[in-house]
Chain A
Amino acid sequence: MSKRAVDAVFQALFLLSDIRFLLRETAPQHDLDEAEQKRAAATLEKVKRQIAVIEEELVR
């Protein structure tokens, strides 16, 4: 049982949901302003960390 992997999967999905809502808020052009770009970058960084955790746990 890898609780760590499961948590990371959920966390990654939740973070990607935040990106999804950024796309909704900025539709249709998706022309992100500076603050939105920073938000996207920070969220994507967190997604990468969660992906790394999943890799560590499942595909070592």
Chain B
Amino acid sequence: MRCAVDIEARDVEEMYINIDPIQAGGRLTPEAMKAAISFGDGYSVCDNCRNPPRLDYIKNPPIAQYHADLAAWLNMDTARVVPGARRGFQAVASTLVSKGDPVILTALAHYTEFMAIEAAGGIPREIPKDEKNHITPDAAAEKIEAVIREFSRTPPLLFVDHVDYQFGNVHDVAGIIKVAHQYDIPVLVNGAYTVGIMPVDGKALGADFVVGSGHKSMAAPAPSGVLATTNEHAARVFRMTQAKGDVTGRTFGMKEVEMMGCTLMGVTVVGMMASFPHVRERVQHWETEVAHSQAVTDALLSIEGTKVLSDYPRKHTLTRIDTRGSFDMVAQRHKKRGFFLASDMKKRGITGVIPGSTKVWKYNTFGLTEKQIRHVGESFVGVAQDNGLNTV
């Protein structure tokens, strides 16, 4: 079925259980889907934009209130919606980083953190991970010292991922921030895999900035996200324009430079807002989500030769698995080669395993029902048994 001339309607979520590692937390709620139907038109939230003409002042729909609610929910002082976490990174880096400044991030950092630093003219320096794929406060301290030695100055910013995208491991962010603050280095917490799916308390972490992704973890349309900060940094990062046209003499009121004026002017912000009550509630059930993740991981580990590369027991729903000793052995003799796994899983109604992946790959179980979790686990085991692998 097509929704336009050459665009097939997407029915992936209706037809399959989707365990794609990046899509799980961004699936819309029914409320967001209804909001998308209603607010799909371009500048749809601007019907009631009054003075000052800025997104975070709009009262109908209640965007102003949503901004206040977002900040309070993250236990930060101020928040803005942004077009994806990456634009939050960019706003902060653009504000704090000058050309040639060293900026610290981690060996597990998302590429968009590198891009944000590069765009600001900064020089990235990585805190190495340890043998357990963790970023530790000690490693952060060592890196800060090394960077100060190398550049003869303190980095203006440190990025740390609350949960990294490679292993889905939870890092000691509070410990790392404590170390960074001893050097007066502000810290941006990348909560793309935490904000909206598990409880996040910015003040408890000691964060200067908390960035979340609407389309990755807040059940919102893309591109959407949140940048929250403290009173200490808000005036700088959310500074208002001083620009004036030399010919026209025009000025631009209260528009915020790093936000490029307004950010999410339609379906994205309303989708975030519509999902927010559900999102706020669902983070309280994180333990159930972790238990689901554990159940699928255990099913995979019951297949001889399979190893989990993420922390075990699981503490997150994103998991990196090594099936070189199991499914990849099948791939070497299977007529579909490495594509057999995704193909066989799809026949069982499960999608999200990257076609061709049988060595090291990831999955995310967030948001699935109990019944769906059982089906995923049984399907992995079933595919293994059908292809002659031993299970225990």
Chain A contacts to B: CB under 8 angstroms: 10, 13-14, 17-18, 20-21, 23-25, 27-29
Contacts and interface: CB of A to CB of B under 8 A. Distances in A.
User: Which of A10, A21, A27, A29 has the most chain B CB atoms closer than 10 A to its own CB?
Assistant: A27
B317 to A, nearest CB: 17
A24 B14 contact: yes
17 contacts: A10-B37, A14-B34, A14-B37, A17-B30, A17-B34, A20-B14, A23-B14, A24-B27, A27-B13, A27-B14, A27-B16, A27-B349, A28-B15, A28-B348, A28-B349, A28-B375, A29-B349
Contacts of B33: 17, 20-21
A27 B17 contact: yes
Contacts of B15: 27-28
Contacts of B349: 27-29
Contacts, number: 36
A30 to B, nearest CB: 9
5 A-B pairs with the lowest CB-CB distances in the bound complex, closest first: A28-B349, A23-B14, A21-B30, A14-B34, A17-B33
A28 B350 contact: yes
Contacts of A17: 30, 33-34, 37
Given A27-B349, A29-B349, A18 B30 contact: yes
Nearest to B38: A10
B369 interface: yes
Contacts of B34: 13-14, 17
B302 interface: no
A10 B14 CA distance: 21
B18 to A, nearest CB: 8
A14 B17 CA distance: 23
A44 B252 CA distance: 50
Given A20-B14, A21-B30, 7 more contacts: A10-B38, A24-B27, A27-B13, A27-B14, A28-B16, A28-B350, A29-B349
A25 B15 CA distance: 10
Contact of B17 (A18, A21, A28): A28
A25 B38 CA distance: 23
B166 interface: no
